[in-house]
Structure 1
Amino acid sequence: MNYARFWFIELLAYWEGKINTLPIQHQFGLSRQTSSNLLKQYRTENPGNLEYGTHDKAYVAKPDFKPQYIDQSVDEYFDWLTSRTFPSSPETPFGITQLKPPRRYVSPLITRKLIPAMREKQRLEIDYLSITSNDPEGRIISPHSLVKTATRWHVRAWCEKRQRFLDFVLSRFKGEPQVEGPAVYGEAHDEDWNTWVDIIVAPDSRLSAGQKQVIESDYGMQNGHLTLTVRGPLVKYTIDDLQIKTKMIELRPEAQQLICLNFDEIENWLY
């Protein structure tokens, strides 16, 4: 029974840097005393992980924190933020195997400042690596939304250096962010983010009628096509995740499978 509760304690302590009784009470519907006893029990069984911080009035993750219940992937933490669900046991359900692509490492030092900054609408100074520079560049950003694609997480944020909203890959942030005060620009100012775009996809026209029916069934298409409505900056990620080729069509339609019917309407969002 304590597996899920200890998992939750570790999850918040590791990714947020600290934990007290309040989130445990809310997550599991427990009393303050029972939540306090759980924290004490966790510390007894894992003596090197948490210490009480009088300034924070919470148990703080020690520098040599060694998780016993979480897998230390940022996906695990963000999935909980999204769904508020948690595992009941460490066992994998019988007969289920899940492919796990290589993880992009995200430091907990990033999330411990990034998530509060998003909640409290704060600016952050942070170092960022890009494919156009060999050295980290200092940026001041105002983050407003997290986005998960098939292979990575990024944050949508106002960039003071570039003077526009950009997508920043979380694994490319380095060091520990510093809070720089209230944000001036937020989600409401991000016109592209607040623009919704229709992507109309259909089976490759070169497929046979029978093959098209298979693809239509796969995606629950109606009248031979499927319309996906996404935020403007997410158009490219959606096309990529669906493996729709836009620059070079596959020679074999079985390899292409899907095409975009309204490419001219979405092209500006791709490049």
Structure 2
Amino acid sequence: MPNLAPGGASSNQRERLWQIDFLTRFRGEVTRQDLVLRFGIALSNATRDFTLYRQLAPDNLKYDHRDKVYRRAKGFQPLFIYDCAHTLQTLTWGQGVGLEVCNQPILVESVPTLSQPDLDILAAISRAMYAAKALTIRYVSVGSGESVREIVPHSLVNTGQRWHTRAYCRVHSKFRDFVLTRITAADELDGLINAAVESLAQDHEWNREVELELVPHPRATYSRAIELDYGLESGQSIKLSVRAVMAGYLLRCWGVDCSPNATLQPDEYQLALRAPDWIANQVSLQIAPGFKNEKGL
């Protein structure tokens, strides 16, 4: 929280200041109307919020009189401290998530996250997505090492283990996934993108969906336990429609046996993909469990 004098701002106003800060950092612009619609306040109150914010952070905003919007200034420095997990949650679910941690007596533990993106890189990506801009990035690939790329990002992707951006790569003239933690620098490029080639609408693998059917592993000794895990009745399967580019990630995240004859160990892979060869003709299963070994790749 910013260092406000006691009585200088109510908790509600601090939340609105956070909203200004968040949208400026991750969207690149913010308006008084954003506060009016989000918090149900009068326009005059929103004006006072922006006045206070500019007093606290005079180098963060520049006002565009023509468009009547506050834009991110080059000297922007976050007024608030951001938690990475909370930021990603907010970008995923919207701004309705509370700002403060809720203390409660029930102990809840979860597996720690081992990979988190740099928030300044995430902010550059999200601003480019919002404004439909291209970026120059420095990217470190496992296969080819560090290189400079020009990309046009259109979406963020949570694979269950890592965060990616789905983007058009001008070097390879195709849409690709870029792991956020492997981007070491990102700078916005001037000029318009070629929407006929580089926009989300042209990413056919992103816009195309594939139907998957997952079943309890046929070699499991006690398949009823697996059915209970997934809320299935006896003989039922999990049927879901996913983006073509997400199929491999989903199957790897949930440990689904994708070998043609379900040959992986059922103690480790409790689900199996029905008709994996047919699915492989529609989407890439190179990262799916069992698929590489069966194909001898």
TM-score bracket for the superposition, by shorter chain length = 0.7 to 0.9
Q: 2:226: which partner in 1?
A: 215
Q: How far did residue 239 of structure 1 move?
A: 0.3
Map 1:55-204 to 2 at 5 A.
Answer: 57-58=70-71, 60=73, 62=75, 64-65=77-78, 67-68=80-81, 70-71=82-83, 73=84, 76-77=87-88, 79-80=90-91, 82-87=93-98, 89-99=100-110, 100-112=112-124, 114-135=125-146, 137-179=147-189, 180-183=191-194, 184-185=196-197, 186-204=199-217
Which structure has the higher relative contact order (CA within 8 Å, separation 6+)? 1
- Runs of 5+ unmatched residues, structure 2: 1-10, 287-297
- Write the letter of the residue equivalent to 1:144: H
CA distance, structure 1, for counterparts of residue 150 and residue 85 of structure 2: 23
- Write the letter of the residue equivalent to 2:151: I
* Deviation by residue 1:102-140 (Cα, 9 ceiling, x = unmatched): 24223425533x3343344433333222112332x2222
Alignment of 1:15 onto 2:26:
yes
Q: 1:231: which partner in 2?
A: 243
Instruction: Look up the SS of the partner of 1:192 in the other structure.
Output: helix
Instruction: Look up the SS of the partner of 2:23 in the other structure.
Output: helix
CA distance, structure 2, for counterparts of residue 144 and residue 17 of structure 1: 15
Instruction: Look up the SS of the partner of 2:145 in the other structure.
Output: coil
Q: How far did residue 204 of structure 1 move?
A: 1.5
Conservation of the 8 A alpha-carbon contact between 1:220 and 1:226: no
CA distance, structure 1, for counterparts of residue 33 and residue 74 of structure 2: 17
CA distance, structure 2, for counterparts of residue 201 and residue 190 of structure 1: 26
Conservation of the 8 A alpha-carbon contact between 2:25 and 2:72: no
- Write the letter of the residue equivalent to 1:148: N
Q: How far did residue 226 of structure 1 move?
A: 0.9
Conservation of the 8 A alpha-carbon contact between 1:188 and 1:194: yes
- Write the letter of the residue equivalent to 1:37: R
Q: Tell me how large the CA RMSD over aligned residues is.
A: 3.1
Q: 2:285: which partner in 1?
A: 270
Q: How far did residue 201 of structure 1 move?
A: 1.0
Conservation of the 8 A alpha-carbon contact between 2:90 and 2:97: no
User: Sequence identity of aligned pairs in percent?
Assistant: 23
Conservation of the 8 A alpha-carbon contact between 1:50 and 1:60: yes
CA distance, structure 2, for counterparts of residue 10 and residue 225 of structure 1: 45
* 1:49–1:215 distance in 2 versus 1, CA, 3 Å: farther
Q: 2:35: which partner in 1?
A: 24
Q: How far did residue 230 of structure 1 move?
A: 0.8
Conservation of the 8 A alpha-carbon contact between 2:26 and 2:127: no
Q: How far did residue 156 of structure 1 move?
A: 1.7
Q: How far did residue 160 of structure 1 move?
A: 1.9
Instruction: Look up the SS of the partner of 1:254 in the other structure.
Output: coil
Instruction: Look up the SS of the partner of 1:129 in the other structure.
Output: strand
Instruction: Look up the SS of the partner of 2:148 in the other structure.
Output: strand
* 1:220–1:22 distance in 2 versus 1, CA, 3 Å: same
Q: How far did residue 41 of structure 1 move?
A: 4.4
Q: 2:292: which partner in 1?
A: none
- Write the letter of the residue equivalent to 1:23: D
Work out which of the residue numbers 237, 254, 257 in structure 1 matches 2:267.
254
TM score, norm. by length of structure 2: 0.74
- Runs of 5+ unmatched residues, structure 1: none
Number of residue pairs the alignment of both structures matches? 262
Range that drifts further, 225-234 or 192-201: 192-201
